[in-house]
Chains A and B, each alone.
Chain A
Amino acid sequence: EGDPLITELQDWNHVLGDGVDANPYGMPSRHEAHVKRRSVEWLTADPVSSVNFTPLHELDGIITPNGLCFERHHGGVADIEPAKHRLMINGLVDTPLVFTMQDLMRFPRENRVYFLECAANSGMEWRGAQLNGCQFTHGMIHNVMYTGVPLRLILEEAGVKTNGKWIMPEGADAAAMTRSIPIEKAMDDCLVAFKMNGEALRPEQGYPLRLVVPGWEGNMWIKWLRRIEVGDQPWHHREETSKYTDLLENGTARRFTWEMDAKSVITNPSPQAPILHSKGPTVLTGVAWSGRGTIPRVDVTIDGGKNWHEARMSGPSFDKSMHRFYYDFDWDGTPLLLQSRAHDSTGYVQPTKEELRQFRGVNSIYHNNGIQTWYVNEKGIAENVEIS
């Protein structure tokens, strides 16, 4: 008598498994096939210029595995042989320069962990709850360790002229993505990165070279980086005028809204990750981040904001990186209304969606960092809701 998984001999207990090299570049267990990026077909006109989403509800800790980092590209994934890649620095510099990948590998390099969030993350939720799953509502984010050269060193190599106040990084892909970035940020903490989580950048993340712009909206982190021009004023290109500007209720739009406001989301339970057990000990967990610093504190409510509890932070706390929080509680089997509220190191507290709408209306598309609510019914099934 007992669990047949214990009392009976299982295949894997006596049949030999694969030897080494069966998978020279390893993949997750085949039982994890459901852990994958997913897209929402109706969001964009075509899969080549589209987005898919990180399955936040399947992850733990703070590092996103490279193969699960959400993708957003505007002209498909460029296929670039590193030996044929060049980085040019031109414009208001003493000497316009060209670097090969080999040249770049000879600069002193650094390792830093940063989140990258698309400005449009949660952008579909401005008017109300719309998508059932934190993968879809919050999955345009990933958090990895980058290895790269401080951009400052590369710019100094070319010698920025005193009237050089802006840079314009440009991609080598078929969209030739460009953004304008003030020189102060470029000289501060930007990296020209070639590794993520220790291995080469994935093609969809800009292989062989991408810009890292810590804490600022993901669109600025130019992938397949081939050129950086230095200028005396911003370029006002398509990605900073037509897109990535935030339309307010009165018809005017904010531009150059670079920093990502503090934000958090409960990843478990959530619509794709229901509570599968009955009442008793329950682990609630989620992630929080801020483009302006660290997250010293996250509050969690399970009764729709009547009462809040300070969550337990676990894992390293890096500047402009994702943070992991837990709230371990005894579920009594009654319905729950779950929310999390991040506090960042500047004292900023994540606002409710309604508070945000007071300032921005519902047509901003970008920078929706409002508090997310999940309703969990007595069966443990979760759904995306809004509450009073």
Chain B
Amino acid sequence: ATFGLGRPATADEIAAWDIDVRPDGVGLPEGSGDVTTGEEIFTDRCAVCHGDFGEAVGRWPVLAGGQGTLSDDRPNKTIGSFWPYLSTVYDYVHRAMPFGDAQSLTADETYAITAYLLYLNDIVDDEEFVLSRDNFLEVEMPNAEGFMPDDRMETEFPVFVKADVCMENCKDAVEITGRAAILDVTPEETRARQLKEAVDKAKSGTAADAVTVDSAPPVSLEGGPAGTAAPTEQVAATETAPAAPTADAAPAETAAPDPQLVAAGEKVFKKCQACHQVGEDAKNRAGPQLNGIVGRTAGTVEGFKYSKPMAEAGANGLVWDHAELSGFLTKPRDYLKGTKMSFAGLKDQADIDAVVAYLSTFAAD
């Protein structure tokens, strides 16, 4: 029995949302792209996080290399070494990338990026290689056979399902073989430390326990060792076009900003950090670096590919003073139709004032 709820979906609605791609090729759209074109797009849209050759910046995923390392002590799981199906690459790149601008890539661009990723992983070696729906299924991924179904019920269950467990005198001696304190990677926790200090003060006695040190580097969610230094290449030249001082400059640009407001703005800026950097090593990511943004002419950071409307707004004299930034940040897409900035906006004017105050503390280089 049904309830007669809902309504039939239209063909256009299904087409708009049904973007998934499967290993058998179902869902692949018409289109094609070659390695060389893919390299250009990748350099422009992806390299800021994944590195020019898929080697990754900071803790972003490594996309290339690692073949033959899966049984190593520290495996390097990349598209080439680990991913079983090429369709997953296409689906994911189109579905969720670039980070902060999902579903902005056309079918041709996605084919081209996918082709370039095959090239970076030595799965194709011809820069002229063109990937399309027609030859997509011919590409075999190196680790296609590397997966098996969950076998816990067959392998582990017979051992871990126990009718009886030992309750008394189960072992003679116990030794500490490793301790987290050695690594000291737990986030600074004021209260825990306060508690410990309080306990230390309140009680006497000293701890004297021998331990074996396990000094392996910490392991992160992404599987790689944590705390690896971010690459230092960074810092592209950021010759911002010097903005002409404007007569109607907002107070934030003339008076020194309120330190409390700046501190609040630093918190608000966390919402922006996925795409924008400030400070000494700031460079362009999904969005342009923001040193000197307050007072800067719109669309003028060197090396950043702006949307056409943004570039035009700058050419027409838009300068990012407090009022203009306020308008933009309230609802970017209403303020400037066609902007690439995929950010919903800051609802609270206090947040906007704070973040503008924070940004005003970063001068153009």
A68: chain B residues within 8 A (beta carbon) = none
In the bound complex, do residue A337 and residue B174 qualify as a contact, i.e. CB atoms below 8 Å apart? yes
Q: Taking A236-B88, A365-B221 as contacts, is the C-beta distance between A129 and B178 under 8 angstroms?
A: yes
In the bound complex, do residue A236 and residue B22 qualify as a contact, i.e. CB atoms below 8 Å apart? yes
The yes or no answer to A312 lying at the interface (CB within 8 A) is: no
Interface window among B115-123, B142-150, B252-260: B142-150
Instruction: Identify the closest chain A residue to B68 (Cβ).
Output: A251
In the bound complex, do residue A303 and residue B3 qualify as a contact, i.e. CB atoms below 8 Å apart? no
B102: chain A residues within 8 A (beta carbon) = 75, 174-176
In the bound complex, do residue B174 and residue A305 qualify as a contact, i.e. CB atoms below 8 Å apart? yes
The yes or no answer to B70 lying at the interface (CB within 8 A) is: yes
The yes or no answer to B6 lying at the interface (CB within 8 A) is: yes
In the bound complex, do residue B167 and residue A132 qualify as a contact, i.e. CB atoms below 8 Å apart? no
Q: DSSP majority for the A interface?
A: loop
The yes or no answer to B23 lying at the interface (CB within 8 A) is: yes
Q: Taking A88-B14, A131-B186, A307-B169 as contacts, is the C-beta distance between A236 and B270 under 8 angstroms?
A: no
In the bound complex, do residue A170 and residue B20 qualify as a contact, i.e. CB atoms below 8 Å apart? yes
How many Å from the CB of B203 to the closest CB on chain A?
5
Question: How many chain A residues have a CB neighbour from B under 8 Å?
Answer: 121
Instruction: Identify the closest chain B residue to A120 (Cβ).
Output: B221
In the bound complex, do residue B170 and residue A305 qualify as a contact, i.e. CB atoms below 8 Å apart? yes
Taken together as a complex, chains A and B put the C-alpha atoms of A156 and B95 apart, in Å, by 28
Looking at A91, A235, A378, the one whose CB has the most chain B CB atoms below 10 A away is A235
The answer, among A48, A95, A106, A247, for a CB contact under 8 Å with B77, is A247
The yes or no answer to A249 lying at the interface (CB within 8 A) is: yes
How many Å from the CB of B248 to the closest CB on chain A?
33
In the bound complex, do residue B180 and residue A306 qualify as a contact, i.e. CB atoms below 8 Å apart? no
Question: How many chain B residues have a CB neighbour from A under 8 Å?
Answer: 106
A226: chain B residues within 8 A (beta carbon) = 17
A131: chain B residues within 8 A (beta carbon) = 180, 185-186
How many Å from the CB of A337 to the closest CB on chain B?
6
Taken together as a complex, chains A and B put the C-alpha atoms of A209 and B14 apart, in Å, by 19
The yes or no answer to B244 lying at the interface (CB within 8 A) is: no
Instruction: Identify the closest chain A residue to B18 (Cβ).
Output: A90
In the bound complex, do residue B221 and residue A123 qualify as a contact, i.e. CB atoms below 8 Å apart? yes
Taken together as a complex, chains A and B put the C-alpha atoms of A174 and B92 apart, in Å, by 12
Q: Taking A255-B150, A349-B160 as contacts, is the C-beta distance between A46 and B220 under 8 angstroms?
A: no
Task: Give residues of chain A (96-153) contacting chain B, Cβ–Cβ below 8 Å.
Answer: 96-99, 103-104, 106-107, 120, 123-124, 126-133, 136, 153
Instruction: Identify the closest chain A residue to B49 (Cβ).
Output: A45
Interface code B137-164, partner A: CB below 8 Å = 1, 0 otherwise? 0000000001111111001110111110
List residues of chain B with CB under 8 Å of any chain A CB.
2-3, 5-9, 13-14, 17-24, 49, 58-61, 70-71, 75, 77, 79, 82-85, 87-88, 91-92, 95-96, 99-100, 102-103, 146-152, 155-157, 159-163, 165-181, 183, 185-187, 189, 191-192, 195-196, 198-200, 202-203, 205, 207, 209, 211, 214, 216, 218-223, 226-227, 270, 273-274, 342, 344
Closest 7 CB pairs of A and B: A251-B71, A304-B174, A251-B70, A384-B180, A45-B59, A97-B6, A96-B9
Pairs A–B under 8 Å by Cβ, sample size 15: A34-B191, A46-B273, A79-B344, A88-B13, A90-B9, A123-B219, A170-B20, A176-B95, A236-B88, A254-B151, A278-B203, A308-B167, A346-B161, A347-B162, A383-B179
